[in-house]
C-alpha cells in the first residue's frame, strides 16, 4: 500500500473511532503547579510534544506553541513525537517502541485516538492518551500522572493489541521527553561496591549518550538510573532549569539522551531492551515501569525537595512516619557469634540508647552452616550451634532489655553449597550446559517461577509466624543475574527473553504479598551496599542502605549525591570503624538520615560511650526535622573544603545544620567564610546552639546572640570549621 493510501486509511480509521480527530490543534497540557508538558496533534494526526517547561498562566496559550518552532526538516519532523516509533520512514530518531506484528510486519505508525483525564484518590491528575496504529489493531496508552504541589510527573505506557497472534515487542520504553533548549548538561552516576553514586557531568552535544544496566537485578551497582539534566547552563543549588529523576525499575534500565539535528534533546527512558524481546498475546496488556521526574526552574535544591516530598508523601512506605535507631552486629562480629555473644551485645544497644538490635548475616544453615559467604544461603533455619534456642529466644532476650529485634535475610539468593540448591536446582537461574558463574559465591533464584516466589514469601512469613514481635527486616541482594536462564520459562515454552522482565515482576509480586500481610513492619532495602534504590521498590521498604562504605568522609559525598533524589528518612547511615575521622565526625555524618551503629558498643571507651549516648538523645530531639523537614544543601564539598547541609521544619522555626571539613590540607580555607543559611523566615529571630559537642569541649561561638533570618540567609553564620573542629552540628531555633 503506498503512503498516500496508508495516510487516507489512517484518517478514515481515526474518524470512525473518534470524531475528536479534527480538533487537530487541540493541545493536551499535562500540568503541575510550575511545569507543563504539552502534547498536540499535527495535520497527520501524529501526537507531538510542543512544550516542555514552565506552566503558562492561560492554558489556551499552549495552542500556538507548536508554531513557535520550525522543527519541520524533512526526515526530522517527527523528532518531537510524543512516543517515537520504529518502522515508518519519516522517523529517524531513537524509537521508544519497536514491534513485529503478528503477520511479521515490523512497521508502526501511531496516531492519536482519544484522551481522558481523571483525578486519582490521592489528588494527582491522570491523563491517558490513546494512540493506535494506523493499520493494525495495536494500541499504546500514554499515561501521565501529574502531582501538582510537588511538580512531579510519572510517565509510563500501556501497550495492547487485538491482532491474530502474538506481537513481539523489541523495544517498549516508558516514555520519551523532548526538550527545546539548545545546551544540555547531564549529571549521571558511576558506581561500584563501596563507591556508589559518583557523579559525572557531561555536556551532551551530538549523538547518543546512554545510561543503562544489564545486571538483571540490583540494577544500580555500577551506575544508577538517577540523573539530572540541566538546560542552557549547568544548574546550581539555586539557579538553572533542571530535569531530575529516575526510571523506577529494579531491573535492566536504559535512559537514552539523543541530541538531534536541531540540537534539541530527545530522551527515551524505559526497560533496557537488551536480551528482552517480549511476546505479547492478543487481548493482554504490557504496563511499562514509571519514569518519574521533576523539572525545577530554580536549580537542584528545589528539584530535590520536590522529589523528596513526593517520595515521603506518596511513594516511600510510611514516608510520613517514624523510624528506629539501631545497633547492627555485622562489623562487630561478622559471621563469628553465638547467642551468648549476641545477648551481650543487646546490653550495649540498650546502654547506647538505640531502639533496636539488628542481627546480620550468619545466623542460619545447618548442613552447610553460614560461617562465611560461601555456604548456607537459602537454608533459612537457625544454625543450631550458634543459636541453640533459636530466634524466639533472641527476640525475647532483646525484649527483656527493652529493645526491639530485627533480622537480616537475603531470600532471593542461593549458595551452591546449600540444601536449597540440592533440593530445588530447578529454582536456580543457571545455564545448565555451561559452568556456573558466581558473584560472591552465590546465584539468583528464578523469581519467574511461582514456586520460587512462594519460597521467598515463606522466608519472611515463617519468620513472622514464629516471631510475631520481630520488628525489622534487612533485605539484602548481593548478586546480579550472571546465569540468565530460567528452567521455568523453558518448561512453560516461554521465551528466555522474558526473564529479566518477569524476574522484576516476580519480586514485586512477592513484596506485594508481604505487604498485604505485614503492611507496617519496617524493612531496609539493601544490596551489597547501595545496589538497589529504585522508587518502585521503595513502595515496599521504609529505608535503604546507601553503601557498605561507611568511611564518614566518603559518606559526606555519597549522602550528598543520594540526597538529590531521596529523602533523609529513607537513608540508613551507620557509625562504624571505617575511616580516620574522630567518632564525633562519624556520628554527626550518620545523624543526617536514619541513624544506626555498627560498632563494638560494649568496648567503647567511657568518654566515647557518653558522647554517643548524648548524641542519640540529641538525635531524638531533632530527628523529626531531618526526617520530615526540607533539605537545603548549602556548601558543596566538590567545590569547597567543607560541606554544609541544613534541614528546616515546615514552620521555619527549627533547623539543624551539619558542617564538615572535607579537606585536611593546611592551606584549606573551610573556616574563612560564613555559611549562608536557607529556608528560614527572614522576619524571625533565631538563636544558634552547638550540638554534639565532644567531652568537655566548649561550643565554638557565643550561643547567646540573636540573629534575624534575613541576616542568617544573606550574611550567614560561620560554624568555624577547622582542623580541630572538623565537624559541627548547629541547632537554629526561632525565639
Ligand atoms: C552486604 C551488606 C552488608 C552485610 C553483608 C552481610 O554486603 O551490604 O551490610 O549485611 O552483606 O553478608
* DSSP designation for 568: G
Q: Which of 478, 546, 555, 574 to mutate for ligand 1's pocket (most ligand atoms within 8 Å of CB)?
A: 478
Number of H helices, E strands in the chain: 14, 35
State the distance from the centre of ligand 1 to the C-alpha of 611, rounded, in angstroms. Answer: 27
**Atom 11 in ligand 1: which residue has the minimum CA distance?**
528
The closest residue, in CA terms, to atom 1 on ligand 1 is: 528
The answer on pLDDT for 3 being more than 70 is: no
Is the predicted pLDDT of residue 463 greater than 90, yes or no?
yes
475 is in an annotated binding site: yes
Domain with CATH 2.70.98.60 in the chain: 23-182+248-301
User: Nine-digit cell at 493?
Assistant: 515454552
- Tell me, what's the pLDDT at 215? 96
pLDDT at 524: 98
Q: What percent of the chain has pLDDT over 90?
A: 92
pLDDT digits (tens, 9 = 90+) for 651-672: 999 999 999 999 999 888 888 9
Name which of 3-7, 67-71, 131-135, 152-156 the model is least confident about.
3-7
Using alpha carbons only, what angle is made at residue 734 by residues 731 and 735, rounded to the nearest 5 degrees? 120
- The arithmetic mean of pLDDT across residues 336-353, rounded, is 97
CA separation for the pair 277, 86 (Å, rounded): 14
Q: Which fold has domain 631-734?
A: Immunoglobulin-like (2.60.40)
Instruction: Judge whether 358 and 327 are in contact, CB under 8 Å.
Output: yes
Rounded distance from Cα 530 to ligand 1 centre (Å): 10
Rounded to 5 degrees, what are φ and ψ at 406?
-130, 165
DSSP 442: B
Q: What is the pLDDT of residues 422-462, one digit of tens each?
A: 999 999 999 999 999 999 999 999 999 999 999 999 999 99
Task: State the chain's mean pLDDT as an integer.
Answer: 95
Residue with cell 539501631: 326
Residue-level pLDDT at 144: 98
528 C-beta closer than 6 A to ligand 1: yes
Residue-wise pLDDT for 99-132, tens only, equals 999 999 999 999 999 999 999 999 999 999 999 9
pLDDT for residue 22 is more than 50: no
Specify burial of residue 561 (Cβ count, 10 A radius: 0-12, 13-18, 19+): buried
Ligand 1, atom nearest to 360 Cα? 10
Residue 552 belongs to what H/E stretch?
helix 552-562
Task: Verify whether ligand 1 is closer than 6 Å to residue 526 (CB atom).
Answer: yes
pLDDT at 16 over 60: no
Q: What is the pLDDT of residue 59?
A: 86
Domain range 23-182+248-301, its CATH number among 3.40.190.10, 2.30.40.10, 3.20.20.70, 2.70.98.60: 2.70.98.60
- pLDDT reading at 20 higher than 80: no
Active-site choice (151, 446, 476, 608): 476
Q: Is residue 21 pLDDT above 50, yes or no?
A: no
Tell which one of 218, 378, 476 to mutate to probe ligand 1, the residue whose CB is within 8 A of the most ligand atoms: 476
The answer to whether 477 is annotated as binding is: yes
115 contact partners, CB below 8 Å, separation of at least 6? 28, 127, 128, 129, 130
Known catalytic membership, residue 476 = yes
Does position 1 have pLDDT exceeding 90, yes or no? no
Q: Given pLDDT bands bounded at 50, 70 and 90, which one contains residue 89?
A: confident
**Averaged over 220-230, what is the pLDDT?**
94
Using a pLDDT cut of 70, give the percent of the chain over it: 97
Any ligand 1 atom below 6 A from CB of 548 = yes
456 Cα: distance to centroid of ligand 1 (angstroms):
18
CA of 5 to the centre of ligand 1 (A): 62
375-384 tens-digit pLDDT:
999 999 999 9
Structure confidence at residue 165 (pLDDT): 98
Q: Can you tell me the mean pLDDT for 258-263?
A: 97
**What pLDDT was estimated at residue 17?**
38
- The predicted pLDDT at position 9 comes to 38
Query: 466 C-alpha to center of ligand 1: Å?
Result: 24
Distances (CA, A) of 716 to 489, 500, 676: 62, 51, 4
Q: What is the pLDDT of residues 569-606, one digit of tens each?
A: 999 999 999 999 999 999 999 999 999 999 999 999 99
- Is-catalytic flag, 351? no
Ligand 1 within 6 A of CB of 361? yes
CATH 2.60.40.1180 residue ranges for the chain: 631-734
| Residue 476 known to bind ligand | yes
What pLDDT was estimated at residue 25? 62
Q: Indicate the length of the chain as a whole number.
A: 735
Confirm or deny that 193 is annotated as ligand binding. yes
Distance 407 CA to ligand 1 centre (A): 12
Phi and psi torsions of 601, nearest 5°:
-60, -35
User: Could you say which of 42, 446, 548, 598 is catalytic?
Assistant: 548
713: left (phi over 0), alpha (psi -120 to 50) or beta: alpha
Average of per-residue pLDDT across 459-485: 97
Order the strands of the 706-708 sheet from edge to edge: 630-635, 642-648, 654-661, 727-734, 685-691, 706-708
Q: CB neighbours (10 Å) of residue 73?
A: 11
> CB-side exposure of 436: number of CA atoms within 13 Å?
16
| pLDDT over 90 (residue 493) | yes
Amino acid at each position: 500500500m503506498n503512503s498516500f493510501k496508508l495516510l487516507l486509511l489512517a484518517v478514515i480509521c481515526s474518524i470512525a473511532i473518534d470524531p475528536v480527530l479534527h480538533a487537530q490543534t487541540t493541545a493536551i497540557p499535562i500540568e503541575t503547579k510550575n511545569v507543563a508538558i504539552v502534547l498536540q496533534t499535527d495535520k497527520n494526526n501524529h501526537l507531538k510534544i510542543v512544550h516542555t517547561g514552565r506552566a503558562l498562566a492561560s492554558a489556551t496559550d499552549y495552542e500556538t506553541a507548536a508554531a513557535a518552532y520550525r522543527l519541520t526538516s524533512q526526515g526530522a519532523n517527527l523528532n518531537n513525537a510524543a512516543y517515537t516509533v520504529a518502522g515508518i520512514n519519516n522517523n529517524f530518531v531513537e524509537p521508544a517502541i519497536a514491534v513485529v506484528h503478528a503477520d511479521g510486519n515490523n512497521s508502526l505508525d501511531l496516531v492519536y485516538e482519544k484522551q481522558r483525564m481523571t483525578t486519582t484518590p490521592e489528588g494527582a491528575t491522570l491523563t491517558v492518551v490513546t494512540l493506535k496504529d494506523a493499520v493494525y489493531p495495536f494500541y499504546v496508552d500514554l499515561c501521565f500522572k501529574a502531582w501538582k504541589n510537588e511538580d512531579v510527573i510519572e510517565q509510563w505506557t500501556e501497550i495492547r493489541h487485538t491482532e491474530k497472534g502474538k506481537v513481539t515487542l523489541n523495544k517498549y520504553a516508558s516514555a520519551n521527553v523532548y526538550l527545546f533548549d539548545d545546551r544540555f548538561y547531564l549529571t549521571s552516576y558511576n558506581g561500584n561496591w563501596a563507591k556508589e553514586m559518583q557523579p559525572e557531568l557531561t555536556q551532551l552535544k551530538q549523538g547518543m549518550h546512554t545510561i543503562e544496566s544489564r545486571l538483571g537485578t540490583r540494577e544500580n551497582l555500577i551506575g544508577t538510573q538517577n540523573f539530572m539534566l540541566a538546560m542552557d547552563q549547568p544548574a546550581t543549588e539555586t539557579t538553572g532549569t533542571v530535569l531530575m529523576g529516575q526510571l523506577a525499575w529494579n531491573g535492566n534500565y536504559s535512559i537514552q539522551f539523543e541530541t538531534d539535528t536541531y540540537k534539541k534533546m530527545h530522551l527515551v527512558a524505559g526497560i533496557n531492551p537488551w536480551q528482552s524481546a517480549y511476546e505479547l498475546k492478543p487481548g493482554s496488556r504490557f504496563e511499562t515501569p514509571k519514569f518519574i521526574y521533576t523539572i525545577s526552574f530554580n536549580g537542584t535544591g528545589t528539584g530535590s525537595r520536590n522529589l523528596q516530598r513526593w517520595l515521603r508523601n506518596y511513594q516511600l512506605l510510611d514516608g510520613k512516619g517514624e523510624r528506629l535507631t539501631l545497633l547492627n552486629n555485622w562489623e562487630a562480629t561478622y559471621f563469628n557469634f553465638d547467642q551468648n555473644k549476641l545477648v551481650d551485645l543487646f546490653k550495649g544497644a540498650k546502654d547506647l540508647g538505640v531502639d533496636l538490635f539488628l542481627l546480620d548475616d550468619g545466623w542460619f544453615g545447618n548442613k552447610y552452616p553460614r560461617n562465611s559467604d560461601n555456604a548456607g544461603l537459602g537454608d533459612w533455619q537457625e544454625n543450631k550451634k550458634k543459636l541453640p534456642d533459636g530466634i524466639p529466644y533472641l527476640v525475647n532476650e532483646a525484649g527483656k532489655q527493652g529493645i526491639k529485634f530485627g533480622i537480616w535475610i537475603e531470600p532471593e539468593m542461593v549458595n551452591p553449597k546449600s540444601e536449597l540448591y540440592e533440593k530445588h536446582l530447578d529454582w536456580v537461574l543457571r545455564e545448565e550446559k555451561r559452568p556456573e558463574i558466581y558473584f560472591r559465591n552465590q546465584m539468583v533464584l528464578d523469581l519467574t517461577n511461582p514456586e520460587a516466589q512462594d519460597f521467598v514469601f515463606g522466608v519472611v512469613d515463617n519468620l513472622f509466624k514464629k516471631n510475631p514481635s520481630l520488628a525489622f527486616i534487612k533485605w539484602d541482594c548481593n548478586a546480579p543475574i550472571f546465569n540468565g536462564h530460567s528452567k521455568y520459562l523453558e518448561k512453560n515454552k516461554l521465551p528466555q527473553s522474558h526473564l529479566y522482565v518477569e524476574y522484576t515482576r516476580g519480586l514485586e509480586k512477592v513484596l506485594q504479598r508481604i505487604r498485604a500481610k505485614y503492611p507496617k513492619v519496617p524493612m531496609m532495602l539493601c544490596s551489597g551496599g547501595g545496589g538497589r534504590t529504585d522508587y518502585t521498590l521503595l513502595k515496599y521498604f521504609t529505608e535503604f542502605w546507601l553503601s557498605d562504605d561507611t568511611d564518614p568522609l566518603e559518606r559526606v559525598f555519597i549522602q550528598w549525591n543520594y540526597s538529590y533524589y531521596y529523602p533523609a528518612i529513607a537513608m540508613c547511615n551507620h557509625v562504624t570503624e571505617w575511616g580516620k575521622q574522630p567518632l564525633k565526625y562519624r556520628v554527626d555524618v550518620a545523624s543526617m538520615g536514619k541513624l544506626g551503629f555498627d560498632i563494638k558498643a560494649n568496648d567503647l571507651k567511657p568518654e566515647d560511650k557518653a558522647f554517643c549516648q548524648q548524641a542519640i538523645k540529641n538525635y531524638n530531639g531533632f530527628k523529626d526535622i531531618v526526617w520530615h523537614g526540607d533539605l537545603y544543601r548549602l556548601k558543596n564539598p566538590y567545590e569547597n573544603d567543607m560541606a554544609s547541609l541544613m534541614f528546616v521544619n515546615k514552620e521555619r522555626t527549627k533547623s539543624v545544620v551539619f558542617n564538615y571539613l572535607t579537606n585536611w590540607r593546611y592551606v584549606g580555607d573551610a573556616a574563612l567564610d560564613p555559611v549562608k543559611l536557607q529556608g528560614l523566615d527572614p522576619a524571625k529571630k533565631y538563636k544558634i546552639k552547638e550540638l554534639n559537642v565532644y567531652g568537655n569541649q566548649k561550643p565554638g561561638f557565643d550561643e547567646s546572640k540573636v540573629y534575624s533570618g534575613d541576616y542568617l540567609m544573606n550574611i550567614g553564620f560561620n560554624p568555624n570549621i577547622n582542623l580541630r573542629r572538623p565537624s559541627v552540628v548547629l541547632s537554629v531555633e526561632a525565639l
